[in-house]
């Protein structure tokens, strides 16, 4: 899929709003979005009707690869992310191929990341909601969190904070995920996959 070089990109970190969820595995999309915001030196602001926090800026070095970007964190809960994402897509006139969802992924080991375009939702309720709202042809940055240990329920696992062992690597992995988003937007999916898929 070719992307329109003049169209903006919508980068969406998925998570749940509220301090009690801030360090949950399910909120890693918010963590990556916060780091990207820090890198461009901006602050999130509440977007009118869209039920999201938004930051507009540019991504990439000055020159032909520099892109306009809308960075967003839906302030609905994860399971209903589709409404805010679709609202932002329509407001900013972003082609679906220029949308990136950053999310936790159970089917990938912790410390592993995969980028892809389109595909299924693997039972991820945030993706399910977005796909239901606007189809599946958007990019995903899949941040591996692994499967729950023993008989722990998936819902309990994703809503728990990263373990102390995982936290030792977390900053590095969030940084790497942010790098992968920048690479995807400025250099394209294939280049980002070859550099960051592990």
Q: What is the set of active-site residues?
A: 26
In sequence order, what are the beta bridge partners of 11? 71, 100
Contact 197/113 with Cβ under 8 angstroms? yes
Helix (H, G, I), strand (E, B) or coil at 77: coil
* DSSP secondary structure letter of residue 161: B
What DSSP element (H or E) covers 113? Answer: strand 113-117
Whats the size of the chain, residue-wise?
198
Q: Measuring CA to CA, how many Å separate 46 from each of 5, 71, 73, 184, 197?
A: 27, 12, 9, 26, 33
Residue 35 structure tokens: 């780091």
* Cα–Cα distance, 141 to 137 (Å, whole number): 13
* Cα–Cα distance, 46 to 40 (Å, whole number): 18
* Cα–Cα distance, 143 to 26 (Å, whole number): 10
């Amino acid at each position: 899929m070719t992307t329109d070089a003049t169209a903006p990109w919508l980068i969406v970190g998925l998570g749940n709003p509220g301090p009690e969820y801030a360090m949950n595995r399910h909120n890693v999309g918010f963590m990556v979005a916060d780091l990207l915001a820090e890198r461009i030196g901006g602050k999130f602001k509440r977007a009118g009707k869209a039920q999201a926090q938004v930051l507009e800026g540019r991504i990439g070095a000055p020159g032909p690869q520099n892109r306009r970007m809308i960075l967003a964190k839906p302030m609905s809960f994860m399971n209903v992310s589709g409404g805010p994402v679709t609202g932002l897509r329509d407001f900013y006139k972003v082609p679906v191929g220029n949308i990136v969802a950053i999310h936790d992924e159970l089917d990938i080991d912790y410390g592993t990341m995969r980028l892809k375009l389109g595909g299924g939702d693997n039972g991820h309720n945030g993706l399910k909601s977005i796909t239901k709202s606007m189809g599946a042809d958007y990019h995903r940055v899949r941040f591996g969190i692994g499967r729950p240990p023993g008989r722990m329920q998936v819902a309990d696992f994703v809503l728990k904070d990263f373990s102390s062992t995982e936290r030792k690597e977390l900053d590095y992995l969030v940084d790497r995920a942010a790098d992968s988003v920048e690479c995807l937007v400025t250099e394209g999916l294939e280049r980002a996959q070859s550099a960051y898929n592990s």
